[in-house]
Amino acid sequence: MPETGVPTYRVYDIRWIQLIVYVLATFANAMCSMTFSPIESETSKFYSISTAEVNTLAIMFLFLYVIGTILSIWLSQIFSMRIIMIIGSILNLGVFIRVLSLIKPNMGYIPLLIALFAARWFPPSQCDIVTAICSMAYPLGLAIGSLVPSFIVNDPPTSKEFFILLISEAGFTVLTVFLLIIIFRSGPPTPPSPSEEYYQTINLKEDLINLLTNRHYLILLMGFGLGLALFDTITTLLYQLI
């Protein structure tokens, strides 16, 4: 704020670089979560597990995502957004467990902080488009994650094919972790708008109770939640259905 007492609001060109890094991290997370679904039969044979176990792995990620989202909101009141994103990306390095062992699949998690990220870096006139771009990173990652494995792993599956698939995903995940650590920041030196300057922390327990007792929110939650659940389930099992 200058000496005159008039607040200064500024948007920085680097915000687009921050957006790219955020999108890549979300994309990598979604892509890794879909690794084994399109090659369910080959995975079942290679790991000597049932198809139900392969499907459960992918579906379980969706349940954990709900818990992780609530946890990330709570952690955002304690740590900076950069720290939370780095922690989430490091959890994604669990992909190396399956590369090194080639025994059991594993998945990580990237916290859902789209609205916070958009408000921190972008002016109100650009928040909607940024939110849309960030939101599209996840389904795009699912789409690529559903397509690529079937081109690499054939029937009968081999260790070499699985190694190529898993090391490629692990390498991309390492790249996103590196970009987050080196480039990603929680926010610019000065806020992009008055609303962000006077950002207030939330009371997770109180606000959650208010939401769950709001009839209009519950209707929206059920409608959107059921639609998203149907989309994710069909996406996970699409290759098996056809």
Render each residue's pLDDT in the chain as its tens digit; 242 residues: 445 555 677 778 888 999 999 888 888 887 877 777 778 778 788 777 777 777 777 677 777 777 777 777 777 778 888 888 888 777 777 777 766 655 444 444 555 678 778 888 888 888 888 888 888 888 888 888 878 888 888 878 788 888 888 888 888 888 988 998 999 888 888 878 776 655 556 666 777 788 888 888 888 888 877 887 777 777 666 666 66
**94 assigned to some structural domain:** yes
Comparing C-alpha atoms, which of 29, 25, 176 is closest to residue 109? 29
**3 assigned to some structural domain:** no
Q: What is the pLDDT of residue 104?
A: 45
**233 assigned to some structural domain:** yes
**1 assigned to some structural domain:** no
Residues 6+ apart with CB under 8 A from 217: 211
Digit-coded pLDDT (tens) for 53-72: 777 776 777 777 777 777 77
Number of domains in the chain: 1
**6 assigned to some structural domain:** no
Digit-coded pLDDT (tens) for 74-94: 777 788 888 888 887 777 777
DSSP result, the chain:
--TTS-------TTHHHHHHHHHHHHHHHHHHHTSSSTTHHHHHHHHT--HHHHHHHHHHHHHHHHHHHHHHHHHTTTS-HHHHHHHHHHHHTTHHHHHHH-SS---------HHHHHHHHS-HHHHHHHHHHHHHHHHHHHHHHHHHHHHH--SS--HHHHHHHHHHHHHHHHHHHHHHHHT--SS-SS-SSHHHHT-----HHHHHHHHHT-HHHHHHHHHHHHHHHHHHHHHHHHHHH-
The CATH number of residue 194's host domain is 1.20.1250.20
**How many Å apart are CA 42 and CA 161, to the nearest integer?**
11
Q: What is the pLDDT of residue 20?
A: 92
Q: What is the pLDDT of residue 103?
A: 46
- Token representation of residue 32: 């890794």
Question: Cβ(127)–Cβ(118) under 8 Å?
Answer: yes
> Domain residues for 26?
15-241
**2 assigned to some structural domain:** no
